[in-house]
A and B are shown apart, each in its own frame.
Chain A
């Protein structure tokens, strides 16, 4: 059953992805991520000595600041900050640099749907650029359930507004390993099948949600490959690696 999307994409097709790292001169790590017209800039500073008052000094602390394109910072931005902080805390290895603070600043350059997933992807690439130790990378996708029809991926803002419900999903990336396949599993399932974060809006049935998860997971392998190619390409390109 064909779904009619405005820009002519199929239901599982993502918008063109673009990512560049090390674009800000002063930040210790930076990345710009764009999916179609949605563009987000992430900057990482740190790790710097000292943690905030209520944070555990035996672990590194991650602090997120979200800057919207226009307007003042309100509840929505604080919510995004909290979601991003929890996601990043689960992918970074916090015990390597105890009693330090790493600040992640997200600047929204343009919002055309799937903003939070783009921000998570940008933040992850900026952390890699800064050399913060991480367990694995996070790839993030937005899946939505329209009022009638099949689940679609990576909506634009117009499509998002007409949806019955949507879910932002974050998965770990697929890893290359020298071990034989199947040995890197947690409780019998490969690591890529785990879900790091899931944020849902609207009303959807349980079946729809599982279907979203499945579609999202399939798309996350494509995103993982994109990330891997991007990191390999940039590191062999510049003279820094030599």
Chain B
């Protein structure tokens, strides 16, 4: 019993871990159900880290590793910005900066029927919601929210899209409002769409404003 105190800290929650670090001891949590998010894996009797990052715990039982990458790991419920790569009979193939291409079913629009299938050309930018993202399968997307309403999903016209890291996108979407967006909003009128996959779209009345806003956001990641 005594030597446990001398060897390891009580918990890693909130501190940086590197791949291989064992972060949770399952034998001491016998009757609880734990949900593992991004970056953690089960290794015999313990949970170990697969990525380098900060270990976060959302009460009561969700654990994940928060790290900042340029590629995206698809997760159900996220909102992303995707680019159409190809269109097939039943779905569009969309690139969301993840390990696999995602599918957007042709009917996943508000009031979508076989008769009014939208025509998206290759290279179109869309604001989408990730419906399913299971291991081994291509992620499935949708242009409606969970209740079937359009809710601002869909085609993004004009404007300028640039890529950032996933960490910056999370920060831009955090609440309370990110200081960069707040101070920009006081000076310039613009509209913005942020995808958790590291893509940001900005639109404003003049190209001047668009470039200023885009540069400000890109440079805010020091």
Q: Find residues 122-139 in chain A having any chain B CB closer than 8 Å to their own CB.
A: 128, 130-131, 133-137
Give the number of residues in B that approach A within 8 Å (Cβ atoms): 47
Contact indicator A180/B4 (Cβ below 8 Å):
yes
Contact indicator B99/A177 (Cβ below 8 Å):
no
Q: In the complex, how many angstroms separate the beta carbon of A72 from the nearest chain B beta carbon?
A: 32
Q: In the complex, how many angstroms separate the beta carbon of A170 from the nearest chain B beta carbon?
A: 14
Query: A146: CB under 8 A from chain B?
Result: no
Q: Find residues 226-242 in chain A having any chain B CB closer than 8 Å to their own CB.
A: 227-228, 231-232, 235-236, 238-242
Query: A176: CB under 8 A from chain B?
Result: yes
How far is A180 from B136 in the complex, measured between Cα atoms in Å?
Answer: 35
Q: Find residues 85-100 in chain A having any chain B CB closer than 8 Å to their own CB.
A: 93, 96-100
Contact indicator B52/A49 (Cβ below 8 Å):
no
In-complex Cβ contact of B22 among A47, A128, A179, A240 (8 A): A179
Contact indicator A175/B22 (Cβ below 8 Å):
yes
How far is A222 from B68 in the complex, measured between Cα atoms in Å?
Answer: 26
How far is A236 from B101 in the complex, measured between Cα atoms in Å?
Answer: 32
Which 3 A-B residue pairings sit nearest by Cβ, starting from the closest?
A: A136-B20, A177-B22, A240-B68
Q: List 15 A-B contacts (CB under 8 A).
A: A128-B51, A130-B69, A131-B51, A131-B73, A134-B51, A175-B48, A178-B8, A181-B7, A191-B20, A235-B52, A236-B16, A240-B165, A240-B168, A240-B221, A241-B167
Given contacts A239-B220, A239-B221, 8 further A-B contacts (CB under 8 A): A28-B71, A49-B101, A134-B50, A175-B21, A177-B8, A184-B22, A238-B221, A240-B221
Residue ranges of A at the interface with B (Cβ–Cβ < 8 Å): 28-29, 46-49, 93, 96-100, 128, 130-131, 133-137, 172-173, 175-181, 183-184, 191, 227-228, 231-232, 235-236, 238-242
